[in-house]
């Protein structure tokens, strides 16, 4: 799978930097094209570059790239100027991050590049480094010999101007951990489903968790049955490749708060007996993106040494059509004893997640967050680049929207209207797992909420609901279209940075 791209910070002079490429940023200002302030070039060189860009018709618009070679006063053989655009809805750090990603992707085949997009402070320097490293990502595992001969390697290393000393060291560690986590989530989602299935997914996570000093436990089908996890068992019973539940536990000394994560891990979703159309199955290897995000984020939190306890539940199953596949009309008993009538076997994700949420509740954490590629309805509501966030606690929900968006996981809050719950009633079980067709994302979240419990009562106080938030990443988890910003075609690693940001806030 993808190697970690070397990223470092420097205060080297641009004119003498011995790199293959120098990356600068530009935008329109007062109707004229200009390099972003803080670029670090001397005035005459900057003026010559601006004039050359104007001659070439550069506009400085978002994602625009202009290449210049043999520029006097600069040692680098190639200067790449990337448009950052003007003021827009994205935060300034996100604009720089995306511009760095566009530039890094275009530099495939180059050994090194120095990024000087005009970053003004530590946050902006970190954003440029993260964007460049994520933009250079490439999944290369399954390319055969014929393809490899014509394919360029990704950019070899990234230098970002603006930090030095201890500040540079800590920023480098921060960027490295986050980029490695997002890249790991991308790798998992990009892996073909004949290679990544519940058993191999679990084995890979076990290996990485042990290397990171994170405790890990795996329940196989027999253990799942013994533990009453009827949701995971029911979804997985139609596949010859049995389901798994992977539990990750990061328990640092001094932690005073506990965060539980639950990830949907459907390694391939055929729809079960309610079979999907063939065209709709092509990308269904990505249906484990929530579990990938939870695993990767937990490892990043451990690498960063954040003083917050994290327990992550990866609910892994393959939804197939074997002779034991569950049927519409079946009733299954979930972890905790509640019964659920199966209506549509292609609404399988919420079933495995329900068991995970029940298990998370048993640990009485300070908050539970689940991540899932759950509903096409969320894509209809919010498009392909925005995470839908729902939950039972407005403060937690809105904090994740804010922190996730600031981190680069654009998110938006959706309501959970009270009239949805009665649509889950059924005369044959405690509830059914689908309701009315409209408001599908909120119907799914309402079902999940049924499995989030309360904290035990203390003297003089009643039991209280455990704060819970649900991240529907169905849209942004997998990019079927052209690469953009620092997002490649294919898996994106959606949700990882939101979870790391939330853990930081809990670490105090």
The residue annotated as part of the active site, out of 122, 257, 276, 489, is 276
Distance of alpha carbon 138 from alpha carbon 425, whole angstroms:
46
Is 402 in the active site?
A: no
Residue ranges of the alpha helices (H) in 160-197?
165-190
Query: Residue 333 in contact with residue 248, Cβ under 8 Å?
Result: no
d(CA 336, CA 224): 13
Q: Which two tokens stand for residue 476?
A: 């942004």
Catalytic residue flag (residue 276): yes
Q: Which of 186, 350, 397, 432 is the catalytic position? A: 350
Cβ–Cβ under 8 Å, residues 189 and 265: no
Which two three-digit tokens encode residue 88? 């827009």
CA separation, residue 220 to residues 227, 244, 270, 317, 441 (Å): 10, 5, 22, 11, 30
- The residues, ordered by sequence, that sit 6+ positions from 368 with a Cβ below 8 Å of its Cβ are 260, 261, 262, 357, 360, 361, 452, 466, 467, 468, 469
Residue 389 DSSP SS3: strand
Where does residue 140 rank: exposed (0-12), middle (13-18), buried (19+ CB within 10 A)?
Answer: middle
Residues 6+ apart with CB under 8 A from 121: none
Q: Is 145 exposed, middle or buried (0-12, 13-18, 19+ CB in 10 A)?
A: exposed
Active site residues: 276, 350
């Amino acid at each position: 799978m993808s190697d970690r791209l070397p990223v470092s910070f420097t205060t080297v002079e641009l004119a003498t930097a011995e790199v293959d490429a120098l990356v600068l940023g530009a935008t329109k200002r007062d109707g004229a094209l200009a390099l972003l302030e803080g670029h670090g070039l001397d005035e005459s060189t900057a003026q010559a570059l601006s004039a050359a860009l104007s001659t070439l018709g550069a506009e400085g618009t978002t994602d625009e790239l202009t290449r210049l070679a043999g520029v006097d006063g600069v040692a680098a053989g190639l200067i790449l100027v990337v448009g950052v655009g003007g003021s827009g809805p994205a935060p300034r750090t996100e604009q720089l991050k995306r511009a760095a990603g566009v530039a890094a992707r275009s530099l495939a085949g180059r050994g090194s590049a120095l990024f000087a997009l005009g970053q003004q402070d530590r946050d902006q320097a970190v954003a440029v480094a993260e964007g460049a490293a994520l933009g250079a990502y490439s999944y290369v595992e399954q390319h055969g010999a014929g393809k490899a001969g014509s394919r360029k390697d990704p950019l070899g290393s990234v230098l970002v101007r603006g930090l030095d000393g201890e500040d540079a060291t800590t920023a480098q560690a921060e960027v490295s951990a986050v980029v490695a986590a997002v890249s790991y989530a991308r790798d998992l989602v990009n892996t073909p489903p004949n290679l990544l299935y519940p058993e191999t997914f679990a084995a890979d996570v076990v290996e990485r968790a042990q290397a990171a000093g994170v405790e890990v436990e795996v329940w196989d089908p027999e253990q799942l049955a013994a533990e009453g996890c009827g949701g995971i068992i029911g979804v997985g019973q139609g596949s010859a490749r049995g389901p798994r539940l992977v539990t990750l536990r990061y328990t640092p000394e001094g932690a005073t708060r506990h965060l539980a994560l639950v990830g949907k891990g459907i390694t391939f979703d055929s729809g079960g007996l309610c079979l999907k159309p063939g065209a709709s199955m092509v990308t269904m290897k990505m249906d484990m993106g929530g579990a990938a995000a939870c695993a990767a984020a937990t490892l990043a939190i451990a690498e960063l040494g954040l003083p917050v306890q994290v327990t992550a539940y990866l609910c892994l199953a393959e939804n197939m059509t074997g002779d034991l596949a569950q049927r519409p009309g079946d009733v299954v008993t979930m972890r905790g004893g509640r019964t659920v009538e199966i209506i549509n076997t292609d609404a399988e994700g919420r079933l495995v997640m329900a068991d995970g949420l029940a298990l998370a509740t048993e640990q009485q954490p300070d908050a539970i967050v689940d991540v899932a590629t759950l509903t096409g309805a969320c894509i209809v509501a919010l498009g392909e680049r925005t995470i839908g966030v729902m939950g039972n606690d407005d403060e937690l929900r809105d904090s994740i929207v804010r922190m996730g968006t600031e981190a680069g996981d654009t998110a938006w809050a959706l309501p959970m209207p009270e009239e949805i719950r009665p649509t889950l009633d059924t005369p044959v079980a405690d509830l059914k797992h689908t309701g009315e067709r409209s408001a599908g994302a909120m119907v799914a979240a309402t079902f999940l909420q049924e499995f989030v419990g309360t904290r035990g009562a203390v003297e003089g106080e009643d039991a209280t609901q455990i704060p819970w938030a649900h991240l529907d990443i169905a849209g942004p988890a997998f990019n079927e279209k052209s690469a953009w910003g620092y997002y490649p075609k294919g898996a994106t690693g959606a949700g990882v940075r939101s979870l790391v940001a939330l853990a930081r806030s809990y670490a105090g």
